[in-house]
Amino acid sequence: MSALLRILRTLRRTLLQAVPTILGIIILNFFLLQLAPGDAADVMAGEAGSATVETMQALRERFGLDNPVLVQLANYLGNLAQFSLGFSPRYGMPVTELIGQRLPGTLTLMAMALAIAILIGLTLGSLMAAFSGRLPDRLLSILALLFYSVPGFWIGLMLIVLFSVTLGWLPSGGAGTIGSSYTGFAAIVDKARYMVLPATSLALFYVAIYARLTRAAMLEVKNQDFVRTAYAKGLSPVVVTVKHVLRNALIPITTMAGMHVGGMLGGAVVVETVYSWPGLGRLAFEAVMGRDYTVLLGILLLSSILVILANTVVDLAQAWLDPRIGEQK
């Protein structure tokens, strides 16, 4: 069976499976919104400064907040079908639009962090597996465990102390020099300078995860029978590692990479608040501070969909890597 067919079949299966999950998440989201103290009317009244019982009542009627819960759920679903997540009085714009503004920032940060984490993680993990049991492995293992134990926000602050405050090499926050008119390459450099610290803070934890995972996966594969077959063919250790071990080890590693997208989104929330990075995380933080639950739950829903998308990509990558997936048994 061709790889393409395999991938298409996996895509169909994955998407079909995603439907009930998304539905479940939406319903959960709705009920969390119901549980939140105060409703939209309260919030709007609070924003407006003063409100009488009557105006509150009118607001509730206008937004359908006095309907039975199931009707409200139906309305909520209906709105979602039109890609509407509600309106944020605080920001004075629809939540979808608000999130749309902040999403690219977070995605760039995450992509950068993921790239750093995979690149360094794979390298460290392969090194650890190659030297397993010997000094380099032990030192790197401890280093990885240390990365694994450091809170992202703290290392973020410490990096600011070192690189911004003490050394003055890199900016301590923001996403670009305000009022600058860099173009072309200079603009990219400027952007990168602002991104190095947040991306590193976010990546560190995942560097540790991927390194440990790569080590385990490589060692696991190394012990398998087909690796012995490869050696019996007369292949050199380097060729065996690259052509036989790594390819097979990538399968579990890809799965894990996908599984951590959700975690990384969470990490971004904290890191963005540290670096005042204009992304979803900062928005979430502001929403929490302003008790703006519509925005908060909109972010939760959207980030879940992001996770589902990431999982789909991972599944496709797996179908490409592993011929046993997507097979009709």
Partner 1 sequence: MTTETAVTHAATPIQSRASATQAEKPDTPQWHNIKAPDARTTRTASVSVPAGRRELAAFLRNPNALFGLVFLSLMVLVALIAPIAFPGDPLGMVGKPFLWPGQDAAFPLGTDSMGRNVLAGLFHGARISLFVGLTATALGLGVGITVGSLAGYFGGWVDDVLVRIIEIFQTLPNFVLLVVLVAIAQPSATTVSVAIAIVSWPMVARLTRAEFRAIREKDYVVAARSLGFRHPRIIFKEILPNALPPLIVTASVMVATAILMESALSFMGLGDPNVVSWGSMIGNGRELIRTAWYLTFLPGLAIVFTVLALNLIGDGLNDALNPRFSEERS
Partner 2 sequence: MSPASSRLLEVENLTVRFGSADPVRHLSFSVDRGETVAVVGESGSGKSLSALALMRLLPRNAEVPNGRITFEGTDLLKLSDRDIRKVRGREIAMIFQEPMTSLNPVATIGNQIAEVLRLHEKLSRKEARARAIELLNLVKIPDAEKRVDDFPHQLSGGQRQRVMIAIAVACKPKLLIADEPTTALDATIQAQILELLDELRRKLSMGLLLITHDLGVVSRWSDRVVVMYHGDKLEELPTSELFSPDRHPYTRGLAQASIRLEDGVHYTSRTLSEIRVVRDADGQNDYQIRQPVPRDLPPVANDDEPILQVDGLSVTYRTRNRENRALDKATLTLAKGETLGIVGESGSGKSTLSKAIMRLVNAESGSIRFQGQDITSLGPNQLQPVRRDLQMIFQDPFGSLNPRKSIRDILEAPLIVHGVRDAAERRQRIAQTFDHVRLPLSAAERYPHEFSGGQRQRIGIARALILKPSLVICDEPVSALDVSIQAQILNLLVDLKRDLGLSYLFISHDLAVVQYISDRVIVMKDSRIIEESDHKTIWRQPKTDYTRALIAAAAGGETRNRALAS
By CB under 8 A, the residues from 195 to 254 that bind partner 1 are: 212-213, 216-217, 219-220, 223-225, 227-228, 252
Torsional class of 77: left (φ above 0), alpha (ψ -120 to 50), beta (otherwise):
alpha
By CB under 8 A, the residues from 109 to 168 that bind partner 1 are: 132-133, 137-138, 142, 145-146, 148-154, 157-158, 160-161, 165
Binding of partner 2 by 244 (CB under 8 A) = yes
**Residue range at the interface with partner 1 (CB under 8 A); choices 19-27, 88-96, 100-108, 185-193:** 19-27
Owner of token pair 């995605």? 107
What is residue 246's DSSP assignment?
A: I
Binding of partner 2 by 247 (CB under 8 A) = yes
- The neighbouring-strand residues paired with 88 are 93
Binding of partner 2 by 215 (CB under 8 A) = no
Is residue 88 within a helix (H) or strand (E), and if so which, with residue range? strand 87-88
Between 126 and 304, name the residue whose CB sits nearer to partner 1. 304
Residue span 219-238 as binding mask against partner 2, x where in contact by CB under 8 A, dash where not: -----xxx-xxxxxxxxx--
Q: Which of 24, 78, 174, 237 binds partner 1 (CB under 8 A)?
A: 24
Q: How far apart are CA 78 and CA 100, in angstroms?
A: 20
Q: How far is the CB of 103 from partner 1 (least distance, A)?
A: 13
Question: DSSP letters along 94-131, please?
Answer: EHHHHHHHHHHHHHHHHHHHHHHHHHHHHHHHHHHHHT
**Residue range at the interface with partner 1 (CB under 8 A); choices 3-11, 28-36, 69-77, 88-96:** 28-36
Q: How far apart are CA 83 and CA 79, in angstroms?
A: 6
Binding of partner 1 by 317 (CB under 8 A) = no
Q: How far is the CB of 60 from partner 2 (least distance, A)?
A: 46
Q: How far apart are CA 93 and CA 75, in angstroms?
A: 19
Q: Retrieve residue 147's tokens.
A: 């990365």
Q: Which is it for strands 93-94 and 87-88: parallel, antiparallel or unpaired?
A: antiparallel
What is residue 174's DSSP assignment?
A: S
Binding of partner 1 by 303 (CB under 8 A) = yes
Binding of partner 2 by 79 (CB under 8 A) = no
286 binds, among partner 2, partner 1, none (CB under 5 to 8 A by kind): none
Binding of partner 1 by 277 (CB under 8 A) = no
User: What is the CA 202 to chain-centroid distance, rounded?
Assistant: 10
Q: How far is the CB of 48 from partner 1 (least distance, A)?
A: 22
Q: How far is the CB of 145 from partner 2 (least distance, A)?
A: 25
Question: DSSP letters along 203-270, please?
Answer: HHHHHHHHHHHHHHHHHHHHTSHHHHHHHHTT--HHHIIIIIIIHHHHHHHHHHHHHHHHHHHHHHHH
Residues of this chain that bind partner 2 (CB under 8 A): 224-226, 228-236, 243-244, 247-248, 251, 321-324, 327, 329
